[in-house]
Chains A and B, each alone.
Chain A
Amino acid sequence: MSCWNPRAEEMSLEEIQRLQFKLLKTQVYRLYSFSEFYHKRMKEANVHPDDINSLEDIRKLPFMYKKDLRDNYPNRLFVGGQDELVRYHVSSGTTGKPTVVGYTQRDLDNWAESVARAMTSIGLGRHDTIQVSYGYGLFTGGLGAHYGAERIGATVIPASTGNTERQVELIKDLNVTAICCTPSYFLHIAETAEKMGISIEKDTKLRTAVLGAEPWTEKMRKRIKDSTGVNAYDIYGTSELSGPMFTECTEMNGMHIWGDIAYVEIIDPETGEPLGPGERGEMVITMLQKEALPIVRYKTGDITAYEDSPCPCGRNHLRIERLSGRVDDMLIIRGINVFPSQVEYTLMTIPELGEHFQIVVDRKGVLDTMMVRVELKPSAFSDKLSDLIKLKKNAEYVLKNSLNVAAEVELLEPGSLARFEGKAKRVVDNRRD
């Protein structure tokens, strides 16, 4: 196993947990003393730092919500003075007011450290040329990947998003070996390369993709591998945690959450009860060392499960499985929970359909209707109407089977859905209450 930071990465589970408790205790004392917000919250919950006597005692602490960040816009949750702050990022606020996150130099160092460990764990290093095609700017993706890649000594191309043909040229001409971007943008780059007559597999050195900021699937990983020869790795992080931070290792079997940086709980989103290894629920994260914007028991809204058995890669830091959706992305169609990621996973099982799709939810009278619009693959097109009708009916059948709710399928011309360079917007909900 090649490690970026062997002392941290080779700890046993017991060592990790001992360290986590120490860090938690320190953080809770610090917040009780210096954060108005946490002090008040802990008083309300009737919990004092002295009540935290084991790692499990973290459950005595109140949850923190996205809403807390919005309600305290722009910086009322920050701890420490303005002089300590070295950077802001601002989230896009797709579902409401934007949220502002702040960093001390140590916060930025820990973030880069986390990404450096992650990139090393998938085999990247100083010999690599890494193209960062996440957006640079207020979004955390670009700079997060950038500083992590620089830290391991790789050569970084700060390509950001956009000008996709140019991106393809850079990949080819600068011998790019790895790329960081959203999964939908990677597909767009691959499509563009194909149109330009460039085979990623034969004409470029690109072999690794670090994909995140939106959910994707195991099928997509296979499709990417088969069509471009690129090994795609999942990366996780949100601006509240710092940004993209944690990836899978070469085992491709869950993303390692560095225990000295974050403590993960998985809870039942309805009851708040803790769930065990392998049980899917909402992820709650505590950042153990964050200074400027402390994050304690933050309800991420992300659905996943954890595994704390030792990873074959040799690391004992627990792993979370690929996210299977967001608590708030969840659509309720006729009383049934539907995750857009399930729709994507199901469509991927049908080879005649492309990767791009859109879910349109509507209400006819009192009944919810769901339509899945999906592009036909040009190679799958035949001149027979009956083949196309069969394809449509088959897609409707498998969707119904996997979602337990009927969906109408609309076949679209290839390329007719909008392509996204950032996060893909897959759902149009026209229901009005």
Chain B
Amino acid sequence: MSCLIDQISVFVENRPGKLAAIAEVMEAQMVDFLAFSIAEADGFGLLRAVVSDPQSVVAVMKDLGYAVITNKVIAVKMKDQPGGLKEIANVLGTAQINVEYGYAYTKNDSAVLILRVDDAEKSVEVLKKAGFNLLEEENLKA
């Protein structure tokens, strides 16, 4: 069981309708989004998402000509209450792990933090040791 999860990243032009076009592709593929974020820079953006079946989404999008890749991220369950983020940040900071970016979603009573870090395996190790619950690839299916 791996706690390293595939996240897809798609290059998106910052123009009306471009995101809709991508969303349409995903819808046609019956993709289930667990979490996503849009980062914007100078005239373009990046759509990052954790989805139920990343490999097939990537294959379809590549065929359609999109610039798309997958990256390993980790997904940490946290308490949906004040201070939840601080504990995680502390653990990673103490272990000298750098967080590149992150985004979160809440479901029922729990929140899940998706993190892209510079050393994913070490993060999994230290977070588990500190008692955190990490989602596994299997948890994302269905």
Chain A residues with a Cβ under 8 A of chain B: 195, 376-378, 380-385, 388-389, 392, 410-416
Minimum distance in angstroms from B121 CB to a CB of chain A? 18
B66 at the interface (CB under 8 A from A): yes
Complex: chain A residue closest to B7, CB-CB? A383
Report Cα–Cα, A272/B100, bound state, in Å: 61
Which residues of chain B in 25-70 are interfacial with respect to chain A, using CB atoms and an 8 Å cutoff? Answer: 39, 41-44, 46, 48, 62-63, 65-69
Contact status A413-B48, CB under 8 Å: no
B18 on interface, CB distance cutoff 8 Å: yes
Q: Given that A376-B11, A413-B13 are known contacts, is A385 also in contact with B65, CB under 8 Å in the complex?
A: no
Across the interface, which residues of A come within 8 angstroms of B48, CB to CB?
A: 383
Q: Across the two chains, which residue of chain A brings its CB closest to B101?
A: A385
* B67 and A385 form a contact (CB under 8 A): no
The answer to whether A413 and B39 have CB atoms under 8 Å apart is no
Which of B39, B43, B46, B66 touches A414 (beta carbons < 8 Å)? B66
Question: Which residues from A are CB-within-8-Å of B67?
Answer: 376-378, 380-381, 413-414
Residues of B within 8 A of A (CB): 9, 11-13, 18, 39, 41-44, 46, 48, 62-63, 65-69, 71, 100, 116
CA distance A327 to B57 in the complex (A): 48
Contact B9 A383 (CB under 8 A): yes
New contact pairs (7) apart from A381-B68, A383-B48, CB-CB < 8 Å: A378-B65, A381-B67, A392-B42, A411-B13, A413-B65, A413-B66, A413-B67
Contact present for A410 and B43 (CB under 8 Å): yes
How close is A427's CB to chain B, nearest CB, in angstroms? 20
- From known contacts A413-B12, A413-B18, infer whether A389 and B41 are also in contact, taking CB-CB under 8 Å: yes
Greatest chain B CB density within 10 A among A380, A392, A414 is at: A414
Contact between B11 and A388 (Cβ–Cβ < 8 Å)?
yes
Q: Is the CB of A381 within 8 A of B41?
A: no
Contact residues in A for B62 (Cβ distance below 8 Å) = 378
In the complex formed, the residue of B with least CB distance to A195 is B63
Q: Which residue of B13, B18, B44, B71 is within 8 Å of A383 (Cβ)? A: B71
Is the Cβ of A378 less than 8 Å from the Cβ of B12? no
Inter-subunit contact A385/B69 (CB<8 Å): no
Measured CB to CB, the closest approach of chain B to A103, in angstroms, equals 43
Check if A378 sits within 8 Å of B66, measured CB to CB: yes
The closest CB in chain A to the CB of B70 belongs to A383
In whole angstroms, what is the CA distance A411 to B43 when docked? 8
- Say whether B44 contacts A411, CB under 8 Å: yes
Contact across chains for B69 and A383 when beta carbons are under 8 A apart:
yes
